Structure 1
Amino acid sequence: MSTPDKRGPLQVTRRARLLEQLQRDGVLRVSDLTDALGASTVTIRRDIAQLASEGLVRRVHGGVALPTVDELRDPEADGPFSGAVGMLVPSLDYYWPHVARGAEEAAREVDLRLVLRGSSYETEDDRPQLHRLVDQGVDALIVAPRMDVPTAQHTIEWLAGTGLPVVLLERTATAGPHHAHLESVVTDHAQGANMAVRHLIGLGHHKVGVVLATPSPTRPHVRRGWLEAAAECGIDVTDTVDALVPDAKSPDCRTALDEALDRALATGTTALLVHADAEAIALVQRCEERRLSVPGDLSIIAYDDEVAGLFSPALTAVRPPRRSIGRAAVRLAADRIADPQRPTHRIMISPSLRIRDSVLRPR
């Protein structure tokens, strides 16, 4: 007895009509198919994905084409994966490699191939890289776009209009006339800063300041957590350190760090939360040059924990759940591929506090 086809009759008919038109025209755009078949973009993309998995069509940028002779000869040419997820991150040398490793682990668990691309914090428009990923026929996009540039909202609207599942990494955004949220996975950076401040206050520090790297998109969340913890614990931050410093590689960073230390000494500040690791390390080195002891004269907690534990003294640090962020994003994309009608999910994951040698009770 043959196994009954579990697909609905409308779905079978629609895919048959798609194949008929493709045999006639050779290449079709998704927009053409939505009009001709009277179905939504999401439905058409799902049909194309199913037909591609059966080796009957191949995906091209913006549409679908007949498979090549070589592909017809070797239906397993794409390997054992059931689909592909494109991932665009702003750096491949700091923070994001751990995220990418977590994403790759999760992708293999759900039989997806991860296609990784690196952008840049200096790049104002992420769309050229995103177009390349779409051209490769990915089934979903996981993106950490620049949100502080004039093109940001155009990129978000473009992502929302691709018809592909989209998951934002360490970013949140809305699109469309109703400001609908895109799916996202983020670290609760404010909670991480809150934990750090509470730890310092628990040690007896009553003046806890903050030093933040200007270019970081994490900066406003860390500052918010610092303010919330201080307010909740009854600590006044108006007479302490609240400093912005340039990137540690900048020639102006040393001057900005000196100003932060001068402010700490003038206000009696005994502890600082510093984002990110490079700036925290540069601050400790400047303390040593000025004969200030860490943690004797000044306790310091770093935020990021990329290399904080390797320094001497080993820096107490807040560690974002980088690997878990990548894993959760892929799982979210896979669930959306499997069920395009599911409600929008926005996931927030808590960081952890790693206690090391750079904090003590105040003198």
Structure 2
Amino acid sequence: MGTDLPPALPAQRRERLLRLLDRGDIQRVADLAAALEVAPVTVRRDIAHLADQGQVRRVRGGAVAVERARAKGADESARAEAPSIGIVVPSMKYYWPDVVRGARETAQARGARLVLRGSTYDARVDRRNLARLVDGVGVAGLVIAPMTSGAEGEELVRWMQELTVPIVLAERTAVRGAYGEPMDSVTSNHELGAAMALRLLVRLGHQRIGLVTVAKSPTTPAVRAGWRSACVELGLDPAGVPDVDTEDYGSPTWPERLDSVLDATLASRTTALLVHSDAEAIALLGRCDERGIRVPEDLSVIAYDDEVASMATPPLTAVHPPKTAIGRAAVELLLNRVRSPEPVYTQRVVISPELRVRQSTAPPAASR
């Protein structure tokens, strides 16, 4: 590589890029970036600019000179017939397998190849996964559930907006640009899910309904917002009832924290709890049994997520987010973006959850 050369101006750099493309059939973004000594995102922008001018054709993973594309039939219609799309989820064990299943079903039905990557709740890991899918695999679009909070999450969102492939957020929302324009997204209506749980409990006669959530979960803010708005809607007074944002059940301090929640529940005469998520709700059931607190006779419990709630003793009433439907709708929206030659309006798809009633909820003892 010409390490002695000064940094090229955009026009000069694009001329060099065109010469590189003329020398080979298809050039990958990563290879072009190395040859030009610039970042992959710069190459993607140059390719997008040259494609708009009709000088190159974008293909999976990079670009090809127009004449070579014609000679080999590597046009956009061929790419659209069987595109590869990437999906990045923060967990392969909890919640997300159902989302992936729905995504796979729709991808197969529409003749697309789904490339799965597992991530973590870490914006830096999300960025590495996305870069590999775009620059290495050459996917035509992305479905992702990124970590969007905090400084690193905000930086990730800004970086994603520089990518030249369409992106659909799953169970996340984000905005872009100076005017806060929304990005495409498909989400569960978690606020409605929490409200549905409270409406059931009020119908059963409960007036003191607490909330227990996990601090690190991206779902927590929406569940809490739904709980608070439902308290207003239903005329409930949340003052004094447990409203706890705690660590998850695997934390060393969880047993002590769980006891403090139950102490506050008894002291405030709270008769029902909404608990996010299943694991924490099941742990609470076990501790209630050890302390002689009967469920549902003394305390009704509703879980949020419904991954394993039906396997608890007693089986837990639970809010069931539409996980499979989220995956289906996200891929459907993404493929419409990939295959549409025309600009389209941003879409925010919101899907309602279900409330599955089981044996952990009953009228409070005082009303029986």
The TM-score bracket by the shorter chain reads 0.7 to 0.9
Contact 2:61 2:139 in 1 (8 A): no
TM-score by length of 1: 0.83
Whichever structure has more helix as a proportion of its residues is 2
Q: What's the Cα RMSD here?
A: 2.9
TM-score by length of 2: 0.82
Task: Give the CA deviation at 1:60.
Answer: 3.1
In the comparison of the two structures, how many residue pairs are matched? 327
3-state SS in 2 of match to 1:120: coil
- Given residue 195 of structure 1, which amino acid in structure 2 is its aligned partner? M
- Distance in 2 between the 1:38 and 1:216 partners? 41
Contact 1:315 1:357 in 2 (8 A): yes
- Distance in 2 between the 1:35 and 1:246 partners? 47
Contact 1:81 1:113 in 2 (8 A): no
- Distance in 2 between the 1:288 and 1:123 partners? 39
1:348 aligns with 2:350: yes
3-state SS in 2 of match to 1:142: strand
- Distance in 1 between the 2:284 and 2:120 partners? 26
Match of 2:272 in 1: 271
Contact 1:125 1:152 in 2 (8 A): no
- Given residue 349 of structure 2, which amino acid in structure 1 is its aligned partner? I
- Given residue 230 of structure 1, which amino acid in structure 2 is its aligned partner? C
Alignment of 1:54-203 (within 5 A): 59-60=60-61, 63-64=63-64, 82-122=82-122, 124-135=124-135, 136-203=137-204
3-state SS in 2 of match to 1:94: coil
Task: Give the CA deviation at 1:177.
Answer: 2.4
- Given residue 115 of structure 1, which amino acid in structure 2 is its aligned partner? V
- Distance in 2 between the 1:128 and 1:48 partners? 22
Contact 1:325 1:349 in 2 (8 A): yes
Contact 1:80 1:111 in 2 (8 A): no
- Given residue 302 of structure 2, which amino acid in structure 1 is its aligned partner? I
Contact 1:272 1:300 in 2 (8 A): yes
3-state SS in 2 of match to 1:329: helix
- Distance in 1 between the 2:58 and 2:273 partners? 54
- Distance in 2 between the 1:218 and 1:176 partners? 25
Stretch moving more, 172-181 or 315-324: 172-181
User: In percent, how many aligned pairs have the same letter?
Assistant: 45
Task: Give the CA deviation at 1:111.
Answer: 0.8
Q: 1:22 to 1:257 in 2, by over 3 A?
A: same
- Distance in 1 between the 2:306 and 2:287 partners? 19
Stretch moving more, 279-288 or 177-186: 177-186
- Distance in 1 between the 2:283 and 2:44 partners? 53
Q: Deviations over 1:220-243 (max 9, x none)?
A: 111111111111111101121111
Runs of 4+ residues deviating >3 angstroms = 18-39, 63-66, 78-81, 122-125
Task: Give the CA deviation at 1:38.
Answer: 5.3
Contact 2:322 2:353 in 1 (8 A): yes
- Distance in 2 between the 1:151 and 1:213 partners? 21
Match of 1:306 in 2: 307
- Stretches of structure 1 that go unaligned for 5 or more consecutive residues are 1-17, 50-58, 67-71, 73-77
3-state SS in 1 of match to 2:210: strand
